Amino acid sequence: MKWNADLYDQKHAFVYQFGENVLELLDAKAGEHILDIGCGTGYLTQQLHELGVIVKGTDYSPEMIAQAKEKHSEVLFEVANASNFNEQGQYDAVFSNAALHWVKDHDGMMDSVYKSLKPGGRFVAEMGGKGNVEKIIAATKKVLEQHGYHKQAQTQIWYFPSLGEYTSRLEAHGLRVTFAIHFDRKTPLQDGDQGVTKWIKMFGSPYFEGVPENELQQMLAEITTLLEPDYNENGQWFADYKRLRFVAVKEA
């Protein structure tokens, strides 16, 4: 998937704005070594840098990393695979906001995180949890099926686990979960009835591989119509976000 880093910053700033609450949970201290996985365009990584943290931001998207380097030239960024990195015992904490649900190999990721942490180091993250944007997914798959795109309707883009499922996986990789919560957080979409289209184009484009542009616009309009009763609150549209937030510690 190729990311539009400019559109991400301009129309989907809620991703990192909500992430500032996760930074409070991280409770970073000056001088700590912290890795930010799935850093996007680097806004929260920069926040950590300003706290005096020795921080590195990584992302699988070259487009995101290029933008991060341009906007925050004093911070270290690099393209990396969250499921396969080797930084033995270097970090006091690993942090991630709104990225882990994109990871394909969670066992590889957890193994890499565990190895990268110092004894007593913490893994602090927020990601999509079970039921996240389920109304968008259901409407998209319904419209794809109606238009005969049965293969695309079976596309699995994200992994949205339950609290029990994910904390058990963390524990299986040697991380003791000290805090975990699965909560609803309806999230505002910009630009009224165009918000759904812009959200899908930003995050859900793999559903529409092979769909001609003229038909795509019609399908996005149909998806928006299906979602309007649930999403439109007096002109302000909200997506049905459900988030999973946790702290897990590598015991010595």
Predicted confidence (pLDDT) per residue in 106-165, tens digit:
999 999 999 999 999 999 999 999 999 999 999 999 999 999 999 999 999 999 999 999
**Confidence category of residue 33, pLDDT binned at 50, 70, 90:** very high
DSSP-derived letter for residue 251 is: -
- 56: in domain: yes
Max Cα distance, the chain (Å): 57
At position 48, the amino acid (one-letter code) is L
Total of domains in the chain = 1
Cα(243)–Cα(60) distance, integer angstroms: 22
Pairing of strands 91-97, 117-128: parallel
**Confidence category of residue 1, pLDDT binned at 50, 70, 90:** low
- 138: in domain: no
* Number of neighbours of residue 87 by Cβ within 10 angstroms: 17
CB 209 within 8 A of CB 92: no
Helices 134-146, 213-231: axis angle to 10 degrees equals 140
- 196: in domain: no
Judged against a pLDDT cut of 50, whether residue 5 lies above it is answered with no
Identify the burial level of 59 via C-beta atoms within 10 angstroms of its C-beta, where 0-12 means exposed, 13-18 middle and 19 or more buried: buried
The domain spanning residue 184 has which CATH number?
3.40.50.150
- 197: in domain: no
Task: Give SS3 for 231.
Answer: helix
What's the chain's average pLDDT?
92
Write the pLDDT tens digit of every residue in 156-203: 999 999 999 999 999 999 999 999 999 999 999 988 889 999 999 999
- 109: in domain: yes
- 199: in domain: no
- 85: in domain: yes
- 26: in domain: yes
Domain residue limits at 76: 5-133+158-189+240-250
What local confidence, expressed as pLDDT, does residue 17 receive?
54
What local confidence, expressed as pLDDT, does residue 14 receive?
46
Judged against a pLDDT cut of 60, whether residue 18 lies above it is answered with no
Q: Of residues 227 and 20, which shows the higher confidence score?
A: 227
Global pTM? Answer: 0.90
